[in-house]
Structure 1
Amino acid sequence: MKLKLTKFDALIVVDVQRDFMPGGALPVPDGDKVVKPLNAYIQLFSERGLPIFFTRDWHPKDHISFKDHGGIWPPHCVQDTEGAQFHPDLIIPSDNKFIISKGTSRDFDAYSGFQGTVLDSLLKERGIKRIFVGGVATDYCVKNTVIGGLNLGYFVFLLVDAIRGVDVNPGDSERAIEEMLDAGAICLTYQEI
């Protein structure tokens, strides 16, 4: 049995930004491999007129997550820099798309697309019940966005063919997927829609 997309569905594309790609300031290994499968999902949702949300880190230059300011990461996705831009091959439709900026305040970090943003209210306004989540990194922003969505009452599908992890510690991505499944997420691939 296949899953059918409905008017209650939305796609969330997490942080497919230059700094998280190979050669970027905080590269996710094979991070660019998510672009092609995500583009297939983007086209599918776009053809059906369903909303697509693109989250992005949009940090001030002195953000709390940066090593120089007490965090654990090198500076990345600084507002209005090339590194903060979306991957050049990522399809950004002209309509039914929303860009959600997170981590915009110096003193507040946000791994989830729901933290300190209007994502939840935009989804609720549109009557969305199910969200489909892919992007980078599996073990950080994807995981937190999925769990945030579950905690807010959404039915969440993890697009396992369109995610990649940082794996700071070996196995972090696998553990993150288990954590998402334990929280109630469902793994899904493009062929199952």
Structure 2
Amino acid sequence: MKKSLLLIVDVQNDFCPGGNLAVKGGNEIVPLVNKMAKNHEHVVLTQDWHPADHSSFASQHPGHAVYSQIEMSYGPQTLWPDHCIVGTRGAEFHKDLDAPHAEMIIRKGFRKAIDSYSAMYENDHKTPTGLEGYLRARELTKITIVGLAFDYCVRYSAEDAQARGFEVEVIEAATRAIDLNGTAIETKRSFAERGIKLT
């Protein structure tokens, strides 16, 4: 029997209604995520964890609007509202998230000069978060992914995990999308092309 992990991505205040980068309906997934967590022995959480002057924030690039794109050393970068800043309420997990048996929290995006969507790698696709080493050490071969947002951090976590040889399933009802210029549809297309299971 394959050993599986539930990966809960960025269920944080800033990605829920009222947050600085709110995903529509982001809070609605919490009860289902909690139910799934109770049914998984192995659970890992990710947490967006930015310094206040992070390079992905539009506020750090005068003349550039939120959601515009710029070129960084590692490729194109969407500029976001200031969000999930270390030590702020926005960076905290949603108060109703209930996964006390989670074995690890992967904090990502804490390097000022590089953003991080994936739970596996930063946006240069080279700098590891440490999750893969954990999975290999624990002999976990299947990853079920839930959380926020479907078309960014969930998407790139799923694609990177599959590329590294893990069996990946994304639970659509337990995610919500930002859907920036069609990114939700593009994510579904990418999953279909790669053979990533969207349940």
Please give the range of the TM-score, normalised by the shorter of the 2 chains. Answer: 0.7 to 0.9
Residue 172 of structure 1 deviates from its aligned partner by: 2.1
Residue 184 of structure 1 deviates from its aligned partner by: 1.9
CA distance in 1, matches of 2:185, 2:33: 20
For 1:9, the aligned partner's letter is: S
Q: Scaled by the length of structure 1, what TM-score is found? A: 0.88
Residue 30 in 1 paired to residue 25 in 2? yes
Residue 82 of structure 1 deviates from its aligned partner by: 0.6
Deviations along 1:72-112, one digit per CA (max 9) or x if unpaired, are 1011000111100000000021x352110000110111110
Give yes or no for contact 1:12–1:134 (8 Å, CA) kept in 2.
yes
Residue 182 of structure 1 deviates from its aligned partner by: 1.5
CA distance in 1, matches of 2:23, 2:14: 9
SS in 2 for 1:27: coil
Structure 1 stretches of 4+ with a deviation exceeding 3 A read none
Q: Scaled by the length of structure 2, what TM-score is found? A: 0.85
Give yes or no for contact 2:2–2:142 (8 Å, CA) kept in 1.
no
Residue 11 in 1 paired to residue 6 in 2? yes
Give yes or no for contact 1:138–1:177 (8 Å, CA) kept in 2.
no
- Structure 1 pair 96–136 and aligned structure 2 pair: CA distance change class (3 A): closer
Give yes or no for contact 1:21–1:29 (8 Å, CA) kept in 2.
yes
Residue 172 in 1 paired to residue 183 in 2? yes
Mind listing any 5+ residue stretches in structure 1 that lack a counterpart? 1-5, 189-193
- Provide the identity percentage: 36
Residue 55 in 1 paired to residue 50 in 2? no
Give the one of 41, 44, 66 matched to 2:57: 66
For 2:87, the aligned partner's letter is: D
